[in-house]
Amino acid sequence: MTQTLNAFPISFDQNVKIEACEFSYEKDSFREYREKYRDTHTFYRTGDKALCISGDDKFPVSGTAVSVNANEHYGLMSSLVKDGVIRFLKSQGRNLPIGFNPIEIVSTLDKDNVIKNLVDSSFPFAVNCKYEIDIRNIRGSLHVLIDCSTKTITTRSCEFFITQGFDLIGKYIISNNGQEQRRLLGQVISITENQAQYRDKDGAIKSISINLAFPEPNRENFDEYSRHLFGSKTADFLEKVRVNISVFNGGQNKKERIERFRAFLADKIKTLNGVSIGIGNAKDISREIYQIDKSFFVFSDNLETSVKDGEYGGLLKTGPYTKRTFDRNNPAICIICSQNHKGQVEQFVRKFLKGIPDHKYFSGGLEGKFNIGTSRVEVFTLTDDSVASYKSAIETAIQKKTQDGGKWDLALVQVKQAFKDLPVDKNPYYIGRSLFLLHQVPIQDFTLELLTQSDQSLGYSLNNMALAAYAKMGGVPWLLKASPTLSHELVIGIGSTNLVDDRLEKSQRIMGITTVFSGDGSYIVSNTSKAVSPDQYANALIDVLKQTIEKVKTRLNWQRGDTIRIVFHASVKKFNKDEVQAVKKVIDDYREYNIEYAFLKISDHHGLHMFNSATTNEKKGKFAPYRGQVYKLNDHENLIYLIGQKELKQHSDGHPRGLILNVHRESTFKDIKYLSNQLFNFSAHSWRSYFPNPMPVTITYSDLITQNLGWLNKIPGWNDTVMHSKIGQTQWFL
């Protein structure tokens, strides 16, 4: 068995000296130099200085001549190697490479169109092979990273779409066909003669010839044109497209293509100043990988069940953790559904509550699996799909229960997949969610499309749906067993989401914060959670940290001198100096405890993959690593897989993506192996599904909170202070 990365060691003359001109760094002028002299010079920033490297010993900037040892400045060498890759690719007469961190090149060959077997030559979109090249320092040596995936491009201009009778009004258009760096022009507002009038990002109305503009190759345009072309056969076509792309991104194809591209580059790269670069074969790292032990869960009678049997096994044996303390037994449940589908929905809800006989995982339904007694159900129907109809039905349901002197324990609301494309203030999904939450009623939606599934498939969907519904009603299905340590632990997850109503407007970024702490031998997801804008984020983080410390220290009876470990998980962002200093300031207020802390950045966009030859002959996940495999990249970074070969459901699921964990240098607790094991356990602690999650619960829940509260805050009449009440103490966002 061999295990390799898509990272290939770089070799070069270690004794070579790089002659450069050093000058003061200024952002604007540095950018101008790079743009103006990119064909003849390389520019590299190092702190408040910058270096200019020339291919002809002439320098367009004034500064000091310096000589740098190549083996002592890997950052500069990385930049020179990537610059050399770009120059070589340009010399091949291929598509111009895009970007630098990483370099991207998209194939234009017909054989590299992943969907060519599904369409004829007139189809105006292609899904082409894309390569990304970057440099990473792994265990003290420079490596070239080569990744292979796909990119959708538009192959026909707006003129073609118009002749096919496809409506472009409201669509976003770009200035070229996407094979080079594409530039968003704006949104089409009208078509007159041979001109398209569009609104640009500044709100100005401009025109462009319809044979010079192209519809943006986004999912919306691709799907809508497919519906225009294939009509009732669209769903089948789009599923075949999905499968083709997933198979292309499978481990075997990905590995083979990456190795061919490495061989293509292997001995052809030279830096601007003439240094020859060798790119070797991937190293077998199988002896350097370790496997994390399985997680353990705690149920109502403290029975421990390993992941091997799954959380399902523990629930069958003992019931949920809150079996004896759950306070919504015999729940009152209202159903909001279309009057045209009332009979089908009633059958569906009965299966949800009572189960599907003989189904392996869902024979007992929500009531039997979670021991909640017999539900009291009432149906309220919709006359149509409008917001007004949803509001009317929901208000009727709420008034009915208020008159009865109680409130609903759960609302089951029928929605449509198409609702996701509607603006939030015209979206029945968000309108309905806001109304129920304002009245302290958790909501579980379901789609009409779900009703068409066979009982076998439906049972799997209902199994996860029941798990989330139980948690939304305040139940605790299970707890994650904490590894015994000498420290109390508090973990704070920081997630984010970008809310985009209009592609031409700047997206609104929302930060979410979720806390998890160890108590009674188990990890407990705290009710302390927030979603705020970035300018409020630092203060919100401090507030949450203070509130949680105060709450947890009392609950767990912290004593003077106790060791307290605080771990911060963050995705898609860096911990900046201000955040670190703010956290340190809070910790200074608790000097009676021995507090240590770790800032852990979690990244799933890095282009690094692991290939395991042990899974070569598997029907699904060929070359995929196993869940829980970890490779140490350096003293502060690990590559870890939370989803592995066995977690893939079918052969078309593609190659699983690992996470890179990075411990910030300001951390006082830096045990990367311990932090990796802890994060691995948190990936099995989400109550959205019984399967391991590709992200830890700290990040998953934070992202869900931001998505939900971010959109709800755009609805007139919504007030998120409602989350300070009992509904906010449940997992309402699942």
CA separation for the pair 143, 137 (Å, rounded): 6
In the 3-class helix/strand/coil scheme, how is 206-235 assigned residue by residue? EEEECCCCEECCCHHHHHHHHHHHHHHHHH
Residues 411 and 359 in one domain: yes
- C-alpha 187/C-alpha 172 separation (Å) is 4
Q: What share of the chain is helix, strand, coil (3-state, %, to 5)?
A: 35, 30, 35
Q: What pLDDT was estimated at residue 473?
A: 94
**Amino acid in the structure at residue 35:** E
Q: What is the CATH number of the domain that holds 696?
A: 3.30.420.10
CATH number of domain containing 178:
2.30.30.140
* Per-residue model confidence as pLDDT tens digits over 103-150: 999 988 889 999 999 999 999 999 999 999 999 999 999 999 999 999
Distance CA 50, CA 47 (A): 8
Confidence of residue 506 (pLDDT cuts 50, 70, 90): low
Residue whose structure tokens are 């009678």: 301
Same domain, 593 and 708: yes
Q: What is the pLDDT of residue 512?
A: 67
Q: Which of 148, 94, 165, 120 is nearest to 607 (CA)?
A: 148
**Inside any domain, residue 220:** yes
Q: 494 near 569, Cβ under 8 Å?
A: yes
- The pLDDT score that the predictor gives to residue 438 is 92
- Tell me, yes or no, whether 392 and 458 share the same domain: yes
Of 472, 498, 524, the domain-final residue: 472
Q: Is the four-CA dihedral 212, 217, 221, 225 of positive or negative sign?
A: positive
pLDDT value, residue 520: 60
Give mean pLDDT, residues 611-635: 95
C-alpha separations of 493 from 394, 530, 630 in Å = 34, 11, 21
Instruction: Report pLDDT for 337.
Output: 95
In a domain, 108, yes or no: no
> 365 and 491: one domain?
no
Other beta carbons within 10 Å of 95 = 16
Domain that holds residue 423: 322-472
Mean pLDDT of 28-54: 90
Spell out the residues 6+ positions from residue 428 whose beta carbon is closer than 8 angstroms to its own. Answer: 385, 386, 387, 389, 390, 415, 419, 422
On whether both 332 and 408 belong to a single domain, the answer is yes
Burial class from Cβ neighbours inside 10 Å (0-12, 13-18, 19+) for residue 579 reads buried
Domain boundary among 440, 472, 504: 472
Is residue 487 in some structural domain?
Answer: yes
Q: For residue 467, what are the CA distances in angstroms to 256, 315, 322, 424, 472?
A: 40, 11, 13, 27, 9
Structural domains in the chain (count) = 3
Nearest to 68 by CA among 23, 24, 22, 18: 18
Tokens of residue 440, six digits: 């302290």
Question: How far does CA 650 lie from the centroid of its chain?
Answer: 21
Lowest mean pLDDT, pick from 470-474, 514-518, 556-560: 514-518
Range scoring the smallest mean pLDDT among 7-11, 170-174, 523-527 = 523-527
CATH code for the domain in which residue 432 is found: 3.40.50.2300
Burial 498-527 (b: 16+ CB within 10 A, else e): eeeeeebeeeebbbbbbbbbbbeebbbbbb
Helix (H, G, I), strand (E, B) or coil at 164: coil
Identify which of 190, 90, 163, 147 has the alpha carbon closest to the alpha carbon of residue 655.
147
The answer to the question of residue 726 being in a domain is no
Model confidence at 530, pLDDT cuts 50, 70, 90, reads low
Q: Are 377 and 484 in contact (CB under 8 A)?
A: no
One-letter amino acid for residue 436 of the chain: F
Rounded Cα–Cα distance for residues 128 and 149 (Å): 8
Segment 312-335, tens digit of pLDDT: 666 777 788 888 888 899 999 999
User: What are 341-368's pLDDT values in tens digits?
Assistant: 999 999 999 999 999 999 988 999 999 9
Which pLDDT score is estimated for 306? 42
Burial string for 419-434 (b: 16+ CB within 10 Å, else e) reads beebebeebbbbbbbb
Statement: residue 382 has pLDDT above 60: yes
- Band (pLDDT 50/70/90 cuts) for residue 491 is confident
Helix, strand or coil, per DSSP, at residue 163: helix
Res. 572 pLDDT band, cuts 50 70 90: low
Task: Give CA angle at 327 (357, 398), nearest 5°.
Answer: 85
Q: Considering the domain boundaries, does residue 508 fall inside one?
A: yes
For range 473-498, the mean pLDDT: 81
Q: How high does pLDDT run on average in the chain?
A: 88
* pLDDT of the residue at 713: 81
| Nearest-10 Cα torsion for 641, 647, 653, 656 | 0
Q: What is the mean pLDDT of residues 293-299?
A: 83
Which is nearest to 84 in space by CA: 26, 1, 12, 192? Answer: 12
Residues 492 and 544 in one domain: yes
Domain co-membership, 411 together with 484: no
554 and 440 both lie in a single domain: no
Q: pLDDT band at residue 502, thresholds of 50, 70 and 90?
A: low
| Stretch 439-461: mean pLDDT | 90
For the chain, state the CA radius of gyration: 28
Measured CA to CA, the distance from residue 456 to residue 191 in angstroms comes to 49
Query: Is the pLDDT confidence value at 308 over 60?
Result: no
Band (pLDDT 50/70/90 cuts) for residue 82 is very high
User: Do both 331 and 206 map to the same domain?
Assistant: no
Is residue 444 situated within a structural domain?
yes
Write down the pLDDT at residue 307: 40
Residue 678, in any domain of the structure: yes
pLDDT bucket at 670, cuts 50 / 70 / 90: very high
CB 545 within 8 A of CB 492: yes
Indicate the residue among 245, 276, 308 that finishes a domain. Answer: 245
User: Would residue 596 count as lying in a domain?
Assistant: yes
* Cα 74 from Cα 68, distance rounded (Å): 11
The verdict on 212 and 177 lying in the same domain is: yes
Same domain (yes/no): 395, 494:
no
Q: Is the pLDDT of residue 469 over 80?
A: yes
Is it the case that residue 180 has pLDDT exceeding 60?
no
Lowest mean pLDDT segment, chosen from 294-303, 365-374, 416-425, 708-717: 294-303
Report whether pLDDT(265) > 70: yes
Q: Are residues 464 and 486 in the same domain?
A: no
Contact (Cβ atoms closer than 8 angstroms) between residue 500 and residue 471: no
What pLDDT is stored for residue 649 in this prediction?
85
* pLDDT given at position 442: 94
Q: Report the percent of the chain where pLDDT is more than 90.
A: 57
Q: Among 49-53, 245-249, 434-438, 537-541, whose mean pLDDT is lowest?
A: 537-541
